[in-house]
Structure 1
Amino acid sequence: MAPNATPDTSAPHVTEHAITVAAPPAVVYDLVADVSAWPQVFGPTVHVEVLEEDADISSAGGEQLLRIWAMANEQVRTWTSRRVLDPRSRTVTFRQVVSAAPVAQMGGQWRVEENDDGRTRVVLLHDYRAVDDDPEAERLIEQAVDRNSRAELTALKNAAELSESREEVHFTFSDSETIAGAAGDVYAFLDRADLWPERLPHVARLDLTEDEEGIQHMDMDTRSPDGSTHNTTSVRVCFEDRQTIVYKQLRVPVAMSVHTGRWVIEPQGDGTVRATSWHTVVLDPEGVSTALGPKATLAEARDLVRKALGTNSSTTLRHAKKYAEGLHAGS
């Protein structure tokens, strides 16, 4: 550089993170490509929505437009990204279309490469700039990118190496109630989780804070039938216009590695609404042994988790039904 030259402060920062995975490249690539499963694979990812995509993207590749909600420096950030998937080269290139401050621009690429020893090397590249090239903002972005990249690569490795037992540890179920009341009243009951200790018998304590309207953090103590309590922390993204709330537990009981879910309220066309609680769970085999004993099977753990979560969500739905139908009767 010439002595009087001015440094190019607009040049993006570039980072590279990598990990080796004991699984075939096709398995690893599919986990990166399938964004619908990201909340169950990647710890920081709370929720992903596909806004647009090419029709045959799963087989031929192409472009996607996504909206992503994820944890960064203990807050939920949301942004819109465009991805280009190339199954032949096993790359996924991404670029944020609408970023969240303090990020001015961010992009990068996933590269899934086959090693000579049959294992897979995954490289995750990022390039980014902060708003106004602010040094403090750049430091915070660097911390978030480093923390999330390491967490995502470790999670990807774990998910890929457990892919053969996925059907045993991964399951989804739901519980529903038909309610003769207004969808808005049912939604309000579910949205106002800060009132759940007064309204629900299984909620002993709940602290609720909001980063911004519609993004909630919950710290909750839940009573078990035997009188014991267990603590969970969750983040929720609330879509009042769609009468839907999605959530992810950040601290889960020991038998689970992941728990995500959503509340969905759907008008039925006959004056009633159907409220459904969905749960998706990934069991932790080591945690199952710790919690239930070394002889416990994954099937037994699935049944116990299904019963515990289903009992609590069904109780919540019954109380939401009573609340909404009571308001409807009084109107």
Structure 2
Amino acid sequence: MSGALVHRTVHEVVAAAPAGVLYGLIADATRWPLFFPPCVHVEQLDFDGTRERLRMWATVGDTVKSWVSSRRLDVQRLRVEFTMDPPAAPAESMRGVWTVEPLGDRSRVVLEHFFTVSGDNPADVARVEDVTAANSSIQLDRLAAIAERWTRLDDLVWSFEDTIHVNAPAEPIYDFLYRAADWPAELPHVTLLDLVEEEPGVQVMSMGSLSVDGGTHSTESIRVCFPGARRIVYKQTRSSPLLTAHAGEWSIEPDETGVNLTARHYVLLDEANIEQVLGEGTGAVAAGHHVRDALGQACLSVLRYATQYALGSVHVL
């Protein structure tokens, strides 16, 4: 890689928000699935207060890519430097930096990328530039839109979970959650489900289901499965009209008397659609409670059926 030509791209946006708000959104990468459409899931591997390593999953075109991002956070200079390992082909190396610049009551965010391409083929360079430009524009535009609602974000961003404790083995419960393709035969509210798993542990899923009020709706999700940890995380790529973004997790944690089954949700409300869906005068807080109740009931139902499946498997054995 020594001697390879380093290419640089620069993209920026100006947002009507304080610099500290923008820096905070950039620094807290674990919330990126809610804020950036291409981002599917982020796992923080380690963090010492300044340097961190993240495992990231994101859509790149029609595929889901994963890499480790090593980052250096500089809150004093409002900068976040990063390196991708491995970068998406045909890039041979990829690093960059986010910089936030205060402009009075506004702020500028500059996103720079530096990359090399093996052989420096012009078509490959152009391809990396095009993908970088597209993703940077999406990220910066969404970052500005989120930051400009910073005074209302506490009402628009919701996180909640439901846990049940059952005396059942963890393995068949995880198996039930993992084999979502079989859910139409197992879950009364699931009417159809299409699942593709081209890469082990990464599932692309389309699901049609009945809501509590008897209506029908469909969602599309990307799921990342961790069988060793008995976790499945997901990001909905098509969700309810009430939601701008929805990410979640199924987790199974054994204890001395059985297992704790938890369904976690992280949602960003679509402020523009609240009154259209729930009626005139409905505010963000009421909408958040509505979403919390609906998602909680649906996922508790899945966990109860998973428990029945596990207990039935034990009885068969």
The two structures share one fold, judged by TM-score above 0.5 = yes
Please give the per-residue CA displacement for 1:136-166, whole angstroms capped at 9, x wherever unaligned: 5444433321221111111111221111111
1:96-175 matches, cutoff 5 A: 96-115=84-103, 117-175=104-162
Name the SS for the 2:5 alignment partner: coil
Please give the per-residue CA displacement for 1:170-189, whole angstroms capped at 9, x wherever unaligned: 11111222232221111110
How much has 1:84 moved relative to structure 2?
1.1
Which of residues 298, 305, 308 in structure 2 aligns to 1:319? 305
Alpha-carbon separation, structure 2, partners of 1:330 and 1:188: 16
1:1-331 matches, cutoff 5 A: 10-54=4-48, 57=49, 62-115=50-103, 117-270=104-257, 272-331=258-317
Give unmatched runs, 5+ long, in structure 1.
1-7
How much has 1:131 moved relative to structure 2?
4.8
Report the more deviating stretch, 139-148 or 195-204. Answer: 139-148
Shift of the 212–134 alpha-carbon distance from structure 1 to 2, 3 Å rule, reads farther
Q: Identity percentage over the alignment?
A: 39
Name the SS for the 2:151 alignment partner: helix
Alpha-carbon separation, structure 1, partners of 2:193 and 2:135: 27
Report the more deviating stretch, 69-78 or 224-233. Answer: 224-233
User: Which stretches of structure 1, 4 residues or more, deviate above 6 A after TM superposition?
Assistant: none
How much has 1:134 moved relative to structure 2?
5.0
Name the SS for the 1:253 alignment partner: coil
| Structure 1 contact 101–131 (Cα < 8 Å) conserved | no
Name the SS for the 1:163 alignment partner: coil
| Structure 2 contact 52–71 (Cα < 8 Å) conserved | yes
Name the SS for the 2:22 alignment partner: helix
TM-score (norm 2): 0.94
Shift of the 140–230 alpha-carbon distance from structure 1 to 2, 3 Å rule, reads farther
TM-score (norm 1): 0.90
Alpha-carbon separation, structure 2, partners of 1:125 and 1:287: 34
| Structure 2 contact 5–120 (Cα < 8 Å) conserved | no
How much has 1:220 moved relative to structure 2?
1.1
| Structure 2 contact 8–114 (Cα < 8 Å) conserved | yes
Shift of the 288–91 alpha-carbon distance from structure 1 to 2, 3 Å rule, reads same
Alpha-carbon separation, structure 2, partners of 1:192 and 1:273: 19
Alpha-carbon separation, structure 2, partners of 1:53 and 1:19: 28
State the number of aligned residues: 316
| Structure 1 contact 92–109 (Cα < 8 Å) conserved | yes
Alpha-carbon separation, structure 2, partners of 1:37 and 1:226: 31
Aligned residue in 2 for 1:5: none
| Structure 1 contact 67–78 (Cα < 8 Å) conserved | yes
Alpha-carbon separation, structure 1, partners of 2:118 and 2:249: 34
Alpha-carbon separation, structure 1, partners of 2:218 and 2:260: 29
Alpha-carbon separation, structure 1, partners of 2:263 and 2:23: 31
How much has 1:274 moved relative to structure 2?
1.2
Alpha-carbon separation, structure 2, partners of 1:309 and 1:133: 49
Name the SS for the 1:241 alignment partner: coil
How much has 1:294 moved relative to structure 2?
2.7
Give unmatched runs, 5+ long, in structure 2.
none
Alpha-carbon separation, structure 2, partners of 1:170 and 1:313: 19
Alpha-carbon separation, structure 2, partners of 1:246 and 1:146: 28
Please give the per-residue CA displacement for 1:113-141, whole angstroms capped at 9, x wherever unaligned: 012x4210000011223455455544443
Shift of the 245–140 alpha-carbon distance from structure 1 to 2, 3 Å rule, reads farther
How much has 1:316 moved relative to structure 2?
0.4
| Structure 2 contact 10–113 (Cα < 8 Å) conserved | yes
| Structure 1 contact 42–152 (Cα < 8 Å) conserved | yes
